[in-house]
Amino acid sequence: MRLFAALVPPDEVLDEVERAIAPHVGQVPGLRWPDRATWHITLGFFGEVPERALPELETRLARAVHRHHALDLAFAGFGAFSSVRRARVFWIGVTGDSMTRLADSVRAGARRAGAAQTDAKPLHPHLTLARAKTETDLRPLVESLSGFSGSPWRAEAVRLVRSSGGPQVRYESLAEWALAPAERD
């Protein structure tokens, strides 16, 4: 089964993002806009994980998550991978508390559990909004959204998610662990 660990933002902040991009959905040739139900911020992608490794993975991820505090975050700044001029992925960035230590802990726990990690890139906190099969110039789109700044929100839990492919990608939450209360509380 294909697994990843993620933060799932609250509905009210996703509503803001959805309203900001709504006038552009379907307007850029070649961009595919996934269903909002699939929106998440990936902390670690583990690829194919054998069923027998799941209990150990859940134990190690729970330990990793509980060592970290809730994060105060906000959405700001649209961009693209590999670049705005030659994009295949259109995203919105995440600002606020650093997620790097949390992501590193989650990834280390997965490695110790034997989950084959295919996500060795440094963390670039973002929420993917659209994808293109071929490189697409998204400068006009990114520029038109440059004034957006989302409301602050608190990430309080990490989910382990199973991804099922096919014509319509589906995600199923397998487990969720609470982060420790924020240090500022």
Residues serving a catalytic function are: 40, 126
Handedness of CA 33, 88, 13, 21 (dihedral sign): negative
Query: Quick check: helix, strand or coil at residue 125?
Result: coil
Query: Quick check: helix, strand or coil at residue 116?
Result: coil
> How far apart, in Å, are the Cα atoms of 91 and each of 17, 57, 83?
11, 28, 11
Residue with tokens 């990843």: 4
Burial class (CB in 10 A: 0-12, 13-18, 19+), 26: exposed
What is the maximal distance between C-alpha atoms in the chain? 48
Handedness of CA 26, 32, 38, 39 (dihedral sign): negative
Using alpha carbons, select from 163, 171, 46, 158 the residue that is nearest to residue 113: 46
